[in-house]
Amino acid sequence: MNSHVSPGGYTGTSPHWLREPADVNDLVSILWPSTARKDDDGVLHIGGLAIPDLVANVNTPAYVLDEADFRERAGAFRDAFAGYDVYYAGKAFLSVAVAQWVAEEGLSLDVCSNGELSVALRAGVDPRRIGYHGNNKTPMELRRAVDAGVGRIIVDSFHEIDRVADVATQLGVVQGVMIRVTAGVEAHTHEFIATAHEDQKFGFSIASGDAFDAASRVLAQKSLELRGLHSHIGSQIFDTSGWEVAGRRVLALHARIADELGRVLPELDLGGGFGIAYTTQDDPADPAVLAAQITKIVTGECAALGIDVPHLSIEPGRAIVGPAMCTIYTVGTVKQVALDGGAIRTYVSVDGGMSDNLRPALYDADYSCTLASRASSAEPVLARVVGKHCESGDIVVKDEFLPGDVAPGDLLAVPATGAYGRSMASNYNHALRPPVVAVKDGRARVIVRRETEEDLLATDVG
Protein backbone atom coordinates (compact mmCIF):
# COMPACT_ATOMS: atom_id res chain seq x y z
CA MET A 1 0.00 0.00 0.00
CA ASN A 2 1.13 3.57 -0.72
CA SER A 3 0.52 6.60 1.38
CA HIS A 4 0.23 9.57 -0.90
CA VAL A 5 -0.77 13.20 -0.99
CA SER A 6 -2.78 14.23 -4.04
CA PRO A 7 -2.22 17.56 -5.81
CA GLY A 8 -5.39 18.70 -4.06
CA GLY A 9 -3.86 17.87 -0.68
CA TYR A 10 -5.90 14.71 -0.16
CA THR A 11 -4.07 12.08 1.88
CA GLY A 12 -5.06 8.48 1.43
CA THR A 13 -3.97 4.85 1.38
CA SER A 14 -4.13 3.01 -1.90
CA PRO A 15 -2.68 -0.18 -3.36
CA HIS A 16 0.70 0.25 -5.06
CA TRP A 17 -0.70 -0.11 -8.57
CA LEU A 18 -3.43 2.50 -8.24
CA ARG A 19 -2.34 5.90 -9.53
CA GLU A 20 -4.40 9.01 -9.07
CA PRO A 21 -5.64 9.83 -12.58
CA ALA A 22 -4.74 13.13 -14.26
CA ASP A 23 -8.47 13.61 -14.88
CA VAL A 24 -10.82 11.46 -12.81
CA ASN A 25 -13.50 11.84 -15.51
CA ASP A 26 -11.42 10.04 -18.17
CA LEU A 27 -12.09 6.47 -19.29
CA VAL A 28 -9.11 4.09 -19.28
CA SER A 29 -9.83 2.71 -22.73
CA ILE A 30 -8.33 -0.76 -22.20
CA LEU A 31 -11.02 -1.51 -19.61
CA TRP A 32 -14.03 -0.56 -21.73
CA PRO A 33 -15.94 -1.87 -24.72
CA SER A 34 -14.87 -0.35 -28.01
CA THR A 35 -17.91 1.92 -28.38
CA ALA A 36 -17.66 3.40 -24.86
CA ARG A 37 -16.96 7.13 -24.63
CA LYS A 38 -17.81 10.09 -22.45
CA ASP A 39 -19.41 13.24 -23.86
CA ASP A 40 -18.53 16.80 -22.85
CA ASP A 41 -20.89 16.57 -19.87
CA GLY A 42 -19.11 13.48 -18.61
CA VAL A 43 -22.02 11.22 -19.57
CA LEU A 44 -20.99 7.68 -20.49
CA HIS A 45 -22.24 6.38 -23.85
CA ILE A 46 -22.06 2.76 -24.97
CA GLY A 47 -23.35 1.44 -28.28
CA GLY A 48 -24.40 4.97 -29.17
CA LEU A 49 -26.67 5.28 -26.13
CA ALA A 50 -26.34 7.62 -23.16
CA ILE A 51 -26.27 5.47 -20.04
CA PRO A 52 -28.59 7.74 -17.99
CA ASP A 53 -31.22 7.49 -20.76
CA LEU A 54 -30.79 3.75 -20.92
CA VAL A 55 -31.23 3.17 -17.20
CA ALA A 56 -34.19 5.57 -17.09
CA ASN A 57 -35.96 2.73 -18.91
CA VAL A 58 -34.47 -0.38 -17.34
CA ASN A 59 -33.47 0.88 -13.89
CA THR A 60 -30.30 -0.13 -12.01
CA PRO A 61 -28.41 -2.25 -11.36
CA ALA A 62 -28.13 -3.37 -14.96
CA TYR A 63 -25.55 -5.12 -17.08
CA VAL A 64 -24.93 -3.36 -20.40
CA LEU A 65 -23.52 -5.54 -23.17
CA ASP A 66 -21.92 -3.91 -26.21
CA GLU A 67 -22.92 -6.24 -29.05
CA ALA A 68 -20.43 -4.79 -31.53
CA ASP A 69 -17.60 -5.21 -29.04
CA PHE A 70 -18.61 -8.82 -28.29
CA ARG A 71 -18.68 -9.63 -31.99
CA GLU A 72 -15.33 -7.87 -32.56
CA ARG A 73 -13.66 -9.89 -29.82
CA ALA A 74 -15.21 -13.14 -31.05
CA GLY A 75 -14.08 -12.26 -34.57
CA ALA A 76 -10.60 -11.36 -33.36
CA PHE A 77 -10.17 -14.85 -31.84
CA ARG A 78 -11.69 -16.49 -34.94
CA ASP A 79 -9.34 -14.64 -37.27
CA ALA A 80 -6.22 -14.82 -35.10
CA PHE A 81 -6.75 -18.54 -34.54
CA ALA A 82 -7.68 -19.27 -38.17
CA GLY A 83 -7.38 -23.00 -38.75
CA TYR A 84 -8.36 -23.73 -35.14
CA ASP A 85 -11.89 -24.29 -33.87
CA VAL A 86 -12.71 -21.54 -31.37
CA TYR A 87 -15.26 -22.67 -28.79
CA TYR A 88 -16.79 -19.78 -26.85
CA ALA A 89 -16.93 -20.90 -23.19
CA GLY A 90 -20.57 -20.27 -22.34
CA LYS A 91 -19.96 -20.50 -18.60
CA ALA A 92 -18.57 -16.95 -18.76
CA PHE A 93 -21.98 -15.68 -19.88
CA LEU A 94 -24.64 -17.37 -21.97
CA SER A 95 -28.05 -16.31 -23.20
CA VAL A 96 -30.01 -17.21 -26.30
CA ALA A 97 -28.96 -13.99 -28.07
CA VAL A 98 -25.31 -14.45 -27.19
CA ALA A 99 -25.33 -18.08 -28.35
CA GLN A 100 -26.73 -16.83 -31.67
CA TRP A 101 -24.03 -14.16 -31.99
CA VAL A 102 -21.42 -16.84 -31.30
CA ALA A 103 -22.80 -19.02 -34.10
CA GLU A 104 -23.13 -16.06 -36.47
CA GLU A 105 -19.49 -15.14 -35.86
CA GLY A 106 -18.48 -18.66 -36.85
CA LEU A 107 -17.49 -19.89 -33.40
CA SER A 108 -18.37 -23.19 -31.76
CA LEU A 109 -19.76 -23.38 -28.23
CA ASP A 110 -18.57 -25.00 -25.03
CA VAL A 111 -21.27 -25.79 -22.46
CA CYS A 112 -20.74 -27.38 -19.07
CA SER A 113 -24.23 -28.11 -17.80
CA ASN A 114 -27.65 -29.24 -18.84
CA GLY A 115 -28.89 -25.67 -18.42
CA GLU A 116 -26.24 -24.24 -20.73
CA LEU A 117 -27.06 -26.96 -23.25
CA SER A 118 -30.73 -25.92 -23.10
CA VAL A 119 -29.83 -22.32 -23.90
CA ALA A 120 -27.61 -23.41 -26.80
CA LEU A 121 -30.28 -25.67 -28.27
CA ARG A 122 -32.97 -23.03 -27.88
CA ALA A 123 -30.69 -20.60 -29.71
CA GLY A 124 -30.50 -23.06 -32.60
CA VAL A 125 -26.76 -23.71 -32.29
CA ASP A 126 -25.72 -26.68 -34.45
CA PRO A 127 -25.25 -29.47 -31.87
CA ARG A 128 -22.28 -30.82 -33.79
CA ARG A 129 -20.49 -27.57 -32.88
CA ILE A 130 -21.14 -27.98 -29.16
CA GLY A 131 -18.60 -29.41 -26.71
CA TYR A 132 -19.95 -30.61 -23.37
CA HIS A 133 -17.77 -30.35 -20.23
CA GLY A 134 -18.18 -31.21 -16.57
CA ASN A 135 -16.65 -33.51 -13.98
CA ASN A 136 -19.93 -35.10 -12.89
CA LYS A 137 -22.46 -35.25 -15.68
CA THR A 138 -25.37 -37.45 -14.67
CA PRO A 139 -26.53 -40.35 -16.87
CA MET A 140 -29.68 -38.33 -17.65
CA GLU A 141 -27.61 -35.31 -18.73
CA LEU A 142 -25.36 -37.49 -20.85
CA ARG A 143 -28.35 -39.13 -22.51
CA ARG A 144 -29.77 -35.75 -23.41
CA ALA A 145 -26.43 -34.54 -24.82
CA VAL A 146 -25.84 -37.68 -26.87
CA ASP A 147 -29.44 -37.68 -28.05
CA ALA A 148 -29.15 -34.04 -29.09
CA GLY A 149 -26.13 -34.91 -31.25
CA VAL A 150 -23.53 -32.91 -29.33
CA GLY A 151 -20.27 -33.06 -31.31
CA ARG A 152 -17.97 -33.86 -28.46
CA ILE A 153 -18.27 -34.79 -24.84
CA ILE A 154 -15.19 -34.06 -22.79
CA VAL A 155 -14.92 -37.02 -20.43
CA ASP A 156 -13.49 -36.43 -17.00
CA SER A 157 -13.53 -39.78 -15.13
CA PHE A 158 -13.49 -43.54 -15.70
CA HIS A 159 -17.09 -43.71 -14.48
CA GLU A 160 -18.08 -41.22 -17.11
CA ILE A 161 -16.38 -43.14 -19.94
CA ASP A 162 -18.53 -46.14 -19.10
CA ARG A 163 -21.65 -44.00 -18.80
CA VAL A 164 -21.22 -42.27 -22.16
CA ALA A 165 -20.42 -45.58 -23.83
CA ASP A 166 -23.60 -47.14 -22.36
CA VAL A 167 -25.78 -44.22 -23.38
CA ALA A 168 -24.35 -44.16 -26.91
CA THR A 169 -24.85 -47.93 -27.23
CA GLN A 170 -28.46 -47.61 -26.07
CA LEU A 171 -29.10 -44.83 -28.57
CA GLY A 172 -27.28 -46.68 -31.33
CA VAL A 173 -24.80 -43.92 -32.08
CA VAL A 174 -21.03 -43.41 -32.01
CA GLN A 175 -20.27 -40.46 -29.74
CA GLY A 176 -17.24 -38.23 -30.22
CA VAL A 177 -15.30 -37.70 -26.99
CA MET A 178 -12.25 -35.82 -25.81
CA ILE A 179 -10.27 -36.77 -22.71
CA ARG A 180 -9.75 -34.02 -20.16
CA VAL A 181 -6.19 -34.31 -18.90
CA THR A 182 -4.31 -32.50 -16.15
CA ALA A 183 -0.82 -31.55 -17.14
CA GLY A 184 0.48 -30.71 -13.66
CA VAL A 185 0.95 -27.02 -14.44
CA GLU A 186 0.51 -24.36 -11.77
CA ALA A 187 -0.97 -21.44 -13.68
CA HIS A 188 -0.25 -18.03 -12.17
CA THR A 189 -3.76 -17.25 -11.15
CA HIS A 190 -6.08 -17.57 -8.16
CA GLU A 191 -6.07 -21.10 -6.70
CA PHE A 192 -9.81 -21.57 -7.27
CA ILE A 193 -9.52 -20.85 -10.99
CA ALA A 194 -6.29 -22.75 -11.72
CA THR A 195 -7.18 -26.18 -13.03
CA ALA A 196 -4.19 -28.09 -14.36
CA HIS A 197 -2.26 -28.77 -11.16
CA GLU A 198 -2.56 -32.30 -9.83
CA ASP A 199 -4.44 -31.89 -6.56
CA GLN A 200 -7.88 -30.88 -7.85
CA LYS A 201 -11.05 -32.45 -9.13
CA PHE A 202 -10.76 -32.07 -12.92
CA GLY A 203 -9.42 -34.48 -15.47
CA PHE A 204 -7.12 -37.48 -15.71
CA SER A 205 -3.57 -37.01 -14.52
CA ILE A 206 -0.91 -37.45 -17.18
CA ALA A 207 1.79 -38.04 -14.58
CA SER A 208 -0.04 -40.90 -12.82
CA GLY A 209 -0.78 -42.71 -16.08
CA ASP A 210 -4.55 -42.29 -15.67
CA ALA A 211 -4.81 -40.19 -18.83
CA PHE A 212 -3.17 -42.94 -20.90
CA ASP A 213 -5.42 -45.56 -19.31
CA ALA A 214 -8.44 -43.41 -20.07
CA ALA A 215 -7.43 -43.28 -23.73
CA SER A 216 -7.16 -47.05 -23.95
CA ARG A 217 -10.49 -47.42 -22.15
CA VAL A 218 -12.21 -45.08 -24.63
CA LEU A 219 -10.57 -46.77 -27.62
CA ALA A 220 -11.90 -50.11 -26.43
CA GLN A 221 -15.50 -48.85 -26.65
CA LYS A 222 -17.20 -49.33 -30.02
CA SER A 223 -19.76 -46.65 -29.24
CA LEU A 224 -17.10 -43.98 -28.63
CA GLU A 225 -14.82 -42.17 -31.04
CA LEU A 226 -11.78 -40.65 -29.36
CA ARG A 227 -11.28 -37.26 -31.01
CA GLY A 228 -8.36 -36.09 -28.88
CA LEU A 229 -6.98 -34.78 -25.62
CA HIS A 230 -8.19 -31.68 -23.83
CA SER A 231 -6.17 -29.55 -21.44
CA HIS A 232 -7.36 -26.39 -19.70
CA ILE A 233 -4.76 -24.88 -17.40
CA GLY A 234 -6.74 -22.18 -15.64
CA SER A 235 -8.24 -18.77 -16.07
CA GLN A 236 -7.18 -15.11 -16.21
CA ILE A 237 -3.68 -16.05 -17.44
CA PHE A 238 -1.44 -13.50 -19.14
CA ASP A 239 1.62 -15.30 -20.41
CA THR A 240 1.91 -18.39 -22.54
CA SER A 241 4.52 -20.21 -20.44
CA GLY A 242 1.79 -22.35 -18.83
CA TRP A 243 0.57 -23.47 -22.25
CA GLU A 244 4.15 -24.23 -23.21
CA VAL A 245 4.70 -26.65 -20.33
CA ALA A 246 1.21 -28.15 -20.61
CA GLY A 247 1.48 -28.41 -24.40
CA ARG A 248 4.72 -30.36 -24.13
CA ARG A 249 3.23 -32.87 -21.70
CA VAL A 250 -0.06 -33.26 -23.53
CA LEU A 251 1.63 -33.74 -26.90
CA ALA A 252 3.98 -36.31 -25.40
CA LEU A 253 0.90 -38.26 -24.31
CA HIS A 254 -0.70 -37.72 -27.73
CA ALA A 255 2.44 -39.25 -29.32
CA ARG A 256 2.50 -42.13 -26.84
CA ILE A 257 -1.14 -42.98 -27.65
CA ALA A 258 -0.21 -43.12 -31.35
CA ASP A 259 2.84 -45.30 -30.62
CA GLU A 260 1.43 -47.71 -28.10
CA LEU A 261 -2.28 -47.77 -28.88
CA GLY A 262 -1.94 -47.33 -32.62
CA ARG A 263 -4.32 -44.40 -32.88
CA VAL A 264 -3.31 -40.95 -34.13
CA LEU A 265 -5.79 -38.65 -32.46
CA PRO A 266 -7.11 -36.08 -34.94
CA GLU A 267 -7.62 -33.20 -32.50
CA LEU A 268 -6.18 -31.38 -29.49
CA ASP A 269 -7.90 -28.74 -27.35
CA LEU A 270 -5.81 -26.30 -25.35
CA GLY A 271 -8.67 -24.81 -23.31
CA GLY A 272 -9.35 -21.19 -22.47
CA GLY A 273 -8.10 -18.87 -19.78
CA PHE A 274 -6.85 -15.80 -21.66
CA GLY A 275 -6.65 -12.88 -19.26
CA ILE A 276 -8.34 -9.47 -19.55
CA ALA A 277 -7.83 -6.07 -17.95
CA TYR A 278 -9.95 -5.37 -14.88
CA THR A 279 -7.74 -2.50 -13.72
CA THR A 280 -4.62 -0.72 -14.93
CA GLN A 281 -2.57 -3.55 -13.32
CA ASP A 282 -3.52 -5.94 -16.10
CA ASP A 283 -1.89 -6.03 -19.51
CA PRO A 284 -3.56 -8.67 -21.69
CA ALA A 285 -2.01 -9.86 -24.94
CA ASP A 286 -3.70 -9.42 -28.27
CA PRO A 287 -5.33 -12.62 -29.66
CA ALA A 288 -2.97 -12.43 -32.66
CA VAL A 289 0.05 -12.50 -30.34
CA LEU A 290 -1.42 -15.37 -28.31
CA ALA A 291 -2.20 -17.29 -31.50
CA ALA A 292 1.31 -16.86 -32.86
CA GLN A 293 2.91 -17.96 -29.59
CA ILE A 294 0.64 -20.93 -29.00
CA THR A 295 0.91 -22.14 -32.58
CA LYS A 296 4.69 -21.88 -32.36
CA ILE A 297 4.71 -23.90 -29.14
CA VAL A 298 2.56 -26.67 -30.64
CA THR A 299 4.24 -26.85 -34.04
CA GLY A 300 7.69 -26.80 -32.44
CA GLU A 301 6.78 -29.60 -30.06
CA CYS A 302 5.16 -31.69 -32.80
CA ALA A 303 8.27 -31.29 -34.94
CA ALA A 304 10.45 -32.38 -32.01
CA LEU A 305 8.24 -35.45 -31.52
CA GLY A 306 8.13 -36.14 -35.27
CA ILE A 307 4.32 -36.09 -35.37
CA ASP A 308 1.72 -34.21 -37.44
CA VAL A 309 0.09 -31.20 -35.84
CA PRO A 310 -3.41 -32.24 -34.77
CA HIS A 311 -6.43 -30.05 -35.52
CA LEU A 312 -6.36 -27.53 -32.68
CA SER A 313 -9.09 -25.85 -30.69
CA ILE A 314 -9.30 -23.32 -27.87
CA GLU A 315 -12.08 -22.23 -25.51
CA PRO A 316 -11.96 -18.54 -24.60
CA GLY A 317 -14.82 -17.22 -22.49
CA ARG A 318 -13.68 -14.27 -20.39
CA ALA A 319 -11.60 -12.68 -23.16
CA ILE A 320 -14.66 -12.42 -25.42
CA VAL A 321 -17.47 -11.38 -23.11
CA GLY A 322 -15.59 -9.90 -20.15
CA PRO A 323 -14.69 -6.46 -21.53
CA ALA A 324 -17.85 -6.29 -23.65
CA MET A 325 -20.10 -5.82 -20.63
CA CYS A 326 -20.22 -3.37 -17.73
CA THR A 327 -22.53 -2.92 -14.76
CA ILE A 328 -24.40 0.29 -14.00
CA TYR A 329 -25.33 1.08 -10.39
CA THR A 330 -26.97 4.01 -8.64
CA VAL A 331 -25.21 5.48 -5.63
CA GLY A 332 -27.37 5.31 -2.52
CA THR A 333 -25.20 6.53 0.35
CA VAL A 334 -21.72 8.00 0.83
CA LYS A 335 -19.72 8.16 4.04
CA GLN A 336 -16.16 8.86 5.10
CA VAL A 337 -14.34 6.41 7.33
CA ALA A 338 -11.12 7.31 9.14
CA LEU A 339 -8.33 4.75 8.66
CA ASP A 340 -5.39 4.06 10.94
CA GLY A 341 -2.77 6.73 10.28
CA GLY A 342 -5.32 9.45 9.65
CA ALA A 343 -6.24 8.65 6.05
CA ILE A 344 -9.86 8.74 5.00
CA ARG A 345 -11.66 6.22 2.87
CA THR A 346 -14.90 7.22 1.17
CA TYR A 347 -17.43 4.39 1.22
CA VAL A 348 -19.87 4.58 -1.68
CA SER A 349 -22.84 2.21 -1.39
CA VAL A 350 -24.61 1.14 -4.57
CA ASP A 351 -27.84 -0.73 -5.29
CA GLY A 352 -26.24 -4.10 -6.13
CA GLY A 353 -23.20 -5.96 -4.86
CA MET A 354 -22.05 -9.52 -4.37
CA SER A 355 -25.33 -10.87 -5.76
CA ASP A 356 -24.51 -9.44 -9.19
CA ASN A 357 -20.70 -9.75 -8.99
CA LEU A 358 -19.35 -12.41 -6.67
CA ARG A 359 -15.78 -12.16 -7.92
CA PRO A 360 -14.43 -9.60 -5.42
CA ALA A 361 -15.81 -11.63 -2.49
CA LEU A 362 -14.79 -15.01 -3.93
CA TYR A 363 -11.40 -14.24 -5.47
CA ASP A 364 -10.49 -10.91 -3.93
CA ALA A 365 -10.76 -9.63 -7.51
CA ASP A 366 -9.99 -5.99 -8.27
CA TYR A 367 -12.27 -3.85 -10.41
CA SER A 368 -12.42 -0.21 -11.35
CA CYS A 369 -15.27 2.23 -11.92
CA THR A 370 -16.20 5.65 -13.18
CA LEU A 371 -18.93 8.21 -12.67
CA ALA A 372 -21.31 7.62 -15.60
CA SER A 373 -23.87 10.40 -15.29
CA ARG A 374 -21.88 13.66 -15.13
CA ALA A 375 -18.46 15.25 -15.11
CA SER A 376 -16.98 16.57 -11.90
CA SER A 377 -14.28 19.08 -11.13
CA ALA A 378 -14.02 17.96 -7.51
CA GLU A 379 -10.67 16.60 -6.28
CA PRO A 380 -10.42 12.80 -6.49
CA VAL A 381 -10.83 10.82 -3.28
CA LEU A 382 -9.87 7.24 -2.61
CA ALA A 383 -13.16 5.35 -2.60
CA ARG A 384 -14.41 1.87 -1.88
CA VAL A 385 -17.59 0.96 -3.68
CA VAL A 386 -19.70 -1.48 -1.69
CA GLY A 387 -22.97 -3.30 -2.22
CA LYS A 388 -26.15 -3.48 -0.20
CA HIS A 389 -25.82 -7.00 1.16
CA CYS A 390 -25.56 -7.99 4.79
CA GLU A 391 -21.87 -8.66 5.04
CA SER A 392 -18.76 -6.55 5.09
CA GLY A 393 -17.06 -8.56 2.32
CA ASP A 394 -19.72 -7.28 -0.05
CA ILE A 395 -17.31 -5.12 -2.06
CA VAL A 396 -17.85 -4.03 -5.65
CA VAL A 397 -14.64 -2.05 -6.22
CA LYS A 398 -12.02 -2.24 -3.48
CA ASP A 399 -9.99 0.82 -4.42
CA GLU A 400 -10.69 3.52 -6.96
CA PHE A 401 -10.37 7.26 -7.27
CA LEU A 402 -13.75 8.94 -7.62
CA PRO A 403 -14.60 12.66 -7.61
CA GLY A 404 -14.88 13.91 -4.03
CA ASP A 405 -18.42 15.14 -4.66
CA VAL A 406 -19.78 11.67 -5.52
CA ALA A 407 -23.32 11.69 -4.16
CA PRO A 408 -26.57 9.75 -3.90
CA GLY A 409 -28.27 9.54 -7.28
CA ASP A 410 -25.02 9.45 -9.27
CA LEU A 411 -24.61 6.55 -11.68
CA LEU A 412 -21.45 4.45 -11.42
CA ALA A 413 -20.26 2.13 -14.17
CA VAL A 414 -17.99 -0.85 -13.43
CA PRO A 415 -16.24 -2.17 -16.57
CA ALA A 416 -15.26 -5.75 -17.45
CA THR A 417 -18.08 -7.48 -15.59
CA GLY A 418 -19.20 -9.58 -18.56
CA ALA A 419 -17.43 -12.77 -17.61
CA TYR A 420 -18.68 -14.65 -14.57
CA GLY A 421 -20.71 -11.64 -13.42
CA ARG A 422 -24.29 -12.44 -14.42
CA SER A 423 -23.37 -16.12 -14.73
CA MET A 424 -22.37 -16.37 -11.04
CA ALA A 425 -25.05 -13.95 -9.83
CA SER A 426 -27.27 -15.13 -7.01
CA ASN A 427 -30.44 -14.24 -5.16
CA TYR A 428 -28.52 -13.67 -1.92
CA ASN A 429 -30.66 -11.66 0.47
CA HIS A 430 -33.46 -12.34 -2.01
CA ALA A 431 -31.95 -9.86 -4.44
CA LEU A 432 -33.50 -9.80 -7.92
CA ARG A 433 -30.86 -10.54 -10.52
CA PRO A 434 -30.35 -7.57 -12.90
CA PRO A 435 -31.17 -7.55 -16.60
CA VAL A 436 -28.65 -7.78 -19.42
CA VAL A 437 -29.27 -5.04 -21.95
CA ALA A 438 -27.58 -5.37 -25.31
CA VAL A 439 -26.77 -2.07 -27.00
CA LYS A 440 -25.85 -1.47 -30.61
CA ASP A 441 -26.05 1.50 -33.01
CA GLY A 442 -28.11 3.62 -30.64
CA ARG A 443 -30.61 0.87 -29.83
CA ALA A 444 -31.08 -1.14 -26.64
CA ARG A 445 -32.51 -4.63 -26.39
CA VAL A 446 -33.13 -6.46 -23.12
CA ILE A 447 -31.75 -9.96 -23.74
CA VAL A 448 -32.16 -11.18 -20.17
CA ARG A 449 -34.89 -9.41 -18.23
CA ARG A 450 -34.68 -8.34 -14.60
CA GLU A 451 -36.04 -10.91 -12.18
CA THR A 452 -39.30 -10.00 -10.51
CA GLU A 453 -40.65 -10.65 -7.07
CA GLU A 454 -42.95 -13.21 -8.71
CA ASP A 455 -39.88 -15.07 -10.07
CA LEU A 456 -38.43 -15.05 -6.60
CA LEU A 457 -41.55 -16.33 -4.88
CA ALA A 458 -42.46 -18.83 -7.60
CA THR A 459 -40.23 -21.55 -6.21
CA ASP A 460 -41.24 -20.92 -2.60
CA VAL A 461 -44.19 -23.26 -2.32
CA GLY A 462 -44.86 -22.61 1.33
Q: Is 272 an interacting residue with respect to ligand LLP (CB under 6 A)? A: yes
Nearest CA among 18, 2, 119 for reference residue 399: 18
Q: Is 236 an interacting residue with respect to ligand LLP (CB under 6 A)? A: yes
Q: Is 38 an interacting residue with respect to ligand LLP (CB under 6 A)? A: no
Identified binder of ligand LLP from the candidate list 143, 152, 163, 318, rule CB under 6 A: 318
User: Shortest gap between Cβ of 370 and ligand LLP (angstroms)?
Assistant: 22
| Three-state secondary structure readout of 7-28 | CCCCEEEECCCCCCCCCCCCCC
Q: Is 194 an interacting residue with respect to ligand LLP (CB under 6 A)? A: no
**One-character DSSP codes across 267-281:** EEE----B---SSTT
Identified binder of ligand LLP from the candidate list 221, 223, 235, 313, rule CB under 6 A: 235
Q: Is 89 an interacting residue with respect to ligand LLP (CB under 6 A)? A: yes
Q: Is 312 an interacting residue with respect to ligand LLP (CB under 6 A)? A: no
In degrees and rounded to multiples of 5, residue 89 shows phi and psi of -80, 100
- DSSP three-state, residue 150: coil
Site for ligand LLP in 413-432 (CB under 6 A): 419-420, 424
Run of H or E including 262: none
Alpha-carbon distance of 353 to 337, in angstroms, equals 19
Q: Is 359 an interacting residue with respect to ligand LLP (CB under 6 A)? A: yes
User: Shortest gap between Cβ of 54 and ligand LLP (angstroms)?
Assistant: 25
**What residues does 325 pair with on adjacent strands?**
65
Cβ nearer to ligand LLP, comparing 271 with 435: 271
CB contact set of 197 (below 8 Å; sequence gap of 6+): 182, 184, 185, 186, 187
User: Shortest gap between Cβ of 113 and ligand LLP (angstroms)?
Assistant: 12
Q: Is 61 an interacting residue with respect to ligand LLP (CB under 6 A)? A: no
- Please count the other Cβ atoms lying within 10 Å of the Cβ belonging to residue 289: 12
In degrees and rounded to multiples of 5, residue 355 shows phi and psi of -75, -25
Contacts with ligand LLP, 174-193, as mask; x by CB under 6 A: -------------------x
In degrees and rounded to multiples of 5, residue 271 shows phi and psi of 75, -170
Cβ nearer to ligand LLP, comparing 151 with 317: 317
Q: Is 67 an interacting residue with respect to ligand LLP (CB under 6 A)? A: no
Query: Catalytic site residue 112?
Result: no
Task: With beta carbons less than 8 A apart as the criterion, state whether 103 and 126 touch.
Answer: yes
User: Shortest gap between Cβ of 327 and ligand LLP (angstroms)?
Assistant: 14
Cβ nearer to ligand LLP, comparing 42 with 131: 131
Nearest CA among 268, 137, 254, 262 for reference residue 206: 254
Residues found near ligand LLP in the complex (CB under 6 A): 89, 91-92, 110, 133, 193, 195, 232, 235-236, 271-274, 315-319, 359, 419-420, 424
Which residues are identified as catalytic?
Answer: 390
